[in-house]
């Protein structure tokens, strides 16, 4: 049994496996520009974030009905449970669906058909985080927040994703202020491909409580000291970083140095269908490529629950943390 863990950086659309993509395409009468799953898998050679995003948005064409989103989420939860996930805070990208004529209600209620029963069906507690696409306008983000208002009882927080460079956090100041006023938690992707200054700006201008990726903080010693002092969690995604070429090879990933520096790091899968593994696979990969000790792996698992948005259920968090401490490595 893998160590119990929370997953805090997971795009539900990034869990769309080729087999499910073709099954949904057939169900919905959508034609994909790939002959079969094998041909599709051959397209999974990415040069950078944008080359991945092009395929990620293209394949979303198969997601049309509530049932599609329910099936997608259930498939993820089953795989996550098998890898020790006990709690998942799941991103979704409503603008990418609304642009195709699939409305907010279809996405949220479809996902909820799986998430509402995830504790019973998969042994996983869940939260939903709605992301804004940073390469779309600030007005579009504000319209998306407005469209989400009937569904806020299902949504814990907001995030910011898609193409990072050229789209600094400050562009979204107003929508983050509006979301905070609605009681939503705030995270943002920063420092994946973008500079460390984007991390600082996400903290100062957007008031984020957790930074997604944050990898490039290592280039700014003052920023690292601040992240350590303020216990700001980073949701790292090691296999994603290799596939999108943020690092050359896993053996050179700065995770060990980041832990040594006292950063509150977590390990996550990002878009597991595309990047070669779910969160347990990411744990296994860093364990072998970076030689992480059992103490370090336990620290990563502990951090995942500490960094989670379980302030609304501290009893549950305490139970998960106790499971981490009691875990015996085989
Ligand atoms: N959307 C899905 N995965 C992403 C990533 N790794 N970075 C930015 N946007 C994304
Ligand atoms: Zn991401």
**Structural domain boundaries enclosing 174:** 5-308
Q: Are 214 and 191 in contact (CB under 8 A)?
A: yes
Give residues with Cβ within 8 angstroms of 50, minimum separation 6. Answer: 163
Q: 325 lies in a domain? A: no
202-223 pLDDT, tens digit each: 999 999 999 999 999 999 999 9
Residues lining ligand 1, CB < 6 A? 11, 14, 49, 56, 161-162, 189, 192, 240, 270-271
Q: CB count, 10 Å around CB of 71?
A: 19
Q: Answer whether residue 315 is part of any domain.
A: no
Distance from the alpha carbon of residue 322 to the mean position of ligand 1, in angstroms = 32
pLDDT in tens, 288-317: 999 999 999 999 999 999 999 999 999 999
Is 252 designated active site?
no
Give residue 330's pLDDT.
87
284 within domain boundaries: yes
| Closest ligand to the CA of 89 | 2
CATH code for the domain of 260: 3.20.20.140
In a domain, 323, yes or no: no
Cβ atoms 305, 84 nearer than 8 A: no
pLDDT tens sequence across 28-49: 999 999 999 999 999 999 999 9
What's the pLDDT tens digit per position in 163-203? 999 999 999 999 999 999 999 999 999 999 999 999 999 99
Task: Express each pLDDT in 13-23 by its tens digit.
Answer: 999 999 999 99
Q: Residue 160 C-alpha to ligand 2 middle, in angstroms?
A: 9
**14 CA: nearest ligand 1 atom:** 2
Q: Which of 50, 172, 192 to mutate to test the pocket of ligand 1 (most atoms within 8 A of CB)?
A: 192
Q: What is the mean pLDDT of residues 98-117?
A: 98
Which ligand places an atom closest to the C-alpha of 160? 1
Q: Which residue is catalytic, options 17, 136, 164, 192?
A: 192
pLDDT grade, residue 149 (50/70/90)? very high
Residue 60 confidence class, pLDDT cut points 50, 70, 90 = very high
Give the residue-averaged pLDDT of 242-263: 98
| Domain count for the chain | 1
Whether 111 contacts 155, CB under 8 Å: no
Cα 35 to middle of ligand 1, angstroms: 26
Residue 328 lies in a domain: no
- Rounded distance between C-alpha atoms, residue 11 and residue 25, angstroms: 20
For residue 124, is it within any domain?
Answer: yes
Ligand approaching nearest to the C-alpha of 133: 1
Residue 327 lies in a domain: no
Residue 22: per-residue pLDDT: 98
111 belongs to a structural domain = yes
């Amino acid at each position: 049994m893998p160590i119990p863990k929370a997953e805090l950086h997971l795009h539900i659309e990034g869990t769309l496996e080729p087999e499910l993509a073709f099954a949904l395409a057939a169900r919905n009468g959508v034609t994909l520009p790939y002959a079969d799953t094998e041909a599709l898998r051959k397209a999974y050679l990415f040069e950078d974030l944008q080359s991945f995003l092009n395929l990620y948005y293209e394949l979303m064409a198969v997601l049309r009905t509530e049932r599609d989103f329910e099936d997608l989420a259930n498939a993820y939860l089953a795989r996550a449970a098998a890898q020790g996930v006990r709690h998942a805070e799941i991103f979704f990208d409503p603008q990418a669906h609304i642009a195709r004529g699939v409305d907010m209600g279809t996405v949220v209620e479809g996902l909820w058909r799986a998430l509402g029963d995830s504790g019973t069906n998969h042994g996983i507690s869940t939260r939903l985080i709605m992301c804004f696409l940073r390469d779309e306008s600030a007005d579009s983000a504000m319209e998306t927040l407005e469209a989400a208002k009937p569904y806020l009882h299902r949504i814990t927080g907001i995030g910011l994703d898609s193409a990072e460079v050229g789209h600094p956090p400050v562009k979204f100041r107003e929508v983050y202020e509006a979301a905070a006023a609605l009681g939503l938690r705030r995270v943002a992707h920063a420092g994946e491909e973008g500079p460390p200054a984007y991390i600082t700006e996400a903290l100062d201008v957007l008031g984020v409580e957790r930074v997604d990726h944050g990898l490039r903080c290592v280039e700014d010693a003052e920023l690292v000291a601040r992240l350590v002092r303020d216990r700001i969690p980073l949701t790292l995604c090691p296999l994603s970083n290799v596939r999108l070429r943020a690092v050359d090879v896993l053996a050179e990933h700065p995770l060990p140095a980041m832990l040594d520096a006292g950063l509150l790091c977590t390990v996550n899968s990002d878009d597991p269908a595309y990047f070669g593994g779910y969160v347990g696979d990411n744990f296994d990969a860093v364990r072998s490529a970076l030689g992480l000790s059992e103490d370090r792996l336990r620290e990563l698992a502990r951090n995942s629950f500490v960094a989670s948005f379980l302030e609304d259920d501290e009893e549950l968090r305490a139970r998960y943390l106790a499971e981490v401490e009691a875990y015996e490595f085989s």
